[in-house]
Homo-oligomer: A and B are copies of this chain.
């Protein structure tokens, strides 16, 4: 009896140890530098940034090998014919088979005689701006810089109203929309769809990029978003993120030490841009509560609502971005754009 009790305790302790080790692996706070050290490091780097074509080429090659962004970033008529099984990347054992209802909703890749390419975008993209929604953008005066890019990518249907224009710009070529936003902000588009359609007009005639096949619950709202735009003859084109691409990009960064349950939309977009663009600048990526001037920074440039769950590993992702910045593969802007100084 005593032996059995002892053994029982031992296995409980063993399980606890495994759990703690997993926890350290998934939330690797211990491996990250302190916020203060990161701020100091960014300040040290200052406004200096040197483009490194070798670094750019290397990352494009690595991303092409792992994830093939040109061909795979969206669910297209070419990579997903009727009958194709799309396995949800955000959950286990669920899939959607492309059928007669979904196939007509998929975008067609461009095929031109001179440049046969398997991608809905007009490639090559030259200067790309990936705009995160960090509070660091507030008073950054980066709007003009962002608008000067050839291709502007934004995250999660951000507001572009007049008060933010100076800081975030006006142009959008691709904007992501999580199905959860469709649920929360537009009642899953089950009732009126006018508010949704009207509020999409701010994104001009670009692409809406939705992870329709990441979670099962997100598919119907995403398809409804497609129909709402199509019914209203919107200038926007719906692109469904390919779950295979999201999965391979996740693995790519996991192998480089980013151990979140899921990558942020921002890092997905940066990865896409690194794969497709000749030059990438990232704005609005700053997951710390104080800025370079040691003043508090809000979570988003438009509000300070913190995420409900710690789903992403934002500081860890930032360390990766900063590594890319230092190596010259992309530029991360975190200071004021009009001023000369102020890091990044």
State the A residues within 8 Å of B (CB). 101, 190-194, 197, 220, 223-224, 227, 230-231
Contacts of A194 in B (CB 8 A): 230-231
12 more CB-based (< 8 A) A-B contacts, given A191-B223, A192-B230, A193-B193: A101-B191, A190-B220, A190-B224, A191-B224, A191-B227, A192-B227, A192-B231, A193-B227, A193-B231, A194-B230, A194-B231, A197-B231
Bound complex: CA A223 to CA B223 (Å): 20
A262 to chain B, nearest CB (A): 28
Bound complex: CA A136 to CA B267 (Å): 67
Contacts of A223 in B (CB 8 A): 191
Tallying the copies of this chain within the complex gives 2
Bound complex: CA A223 to CA B193 (Å): 13
Bound complex: CA A220 to CA B223 (Å): 19
Contacts of A197 in B (CB 8 A): 231
Contacts of A191 in B (CB 8 A): 101, 223-224, 227
A255 to chain B, nearest CB (A): 39
Contacts of A193 in B (CB 8 A): 193, 227, 231
A337 to chain B, nearest CB (A): 39
User: Which 7 residue pairs are nearest across A and B when measured between Cβ atoms?
Assistant: A192-B227, A194-B231, A191-B227, A193-B231, A192-B231, A191-B223, A191-B224
Bound complex: CA A101 to CA B192 (Å): 11
Bound complex: CA A191 to CA B231 (Å): 10
A191 to chain B, nearest CB (A): 5
Contacts of A227 in B (CB 8 A): 191-193
A188: nearest residue on chain B (CB-CB)? B190
Contacts of A190 in B (CB 8 A): 190, 220, 224
Contacts of A101 in B (CB 8 A): 191
A121 to chain B, nearest CB (A): 25
A279 to chain B, nearest CB (A): 40
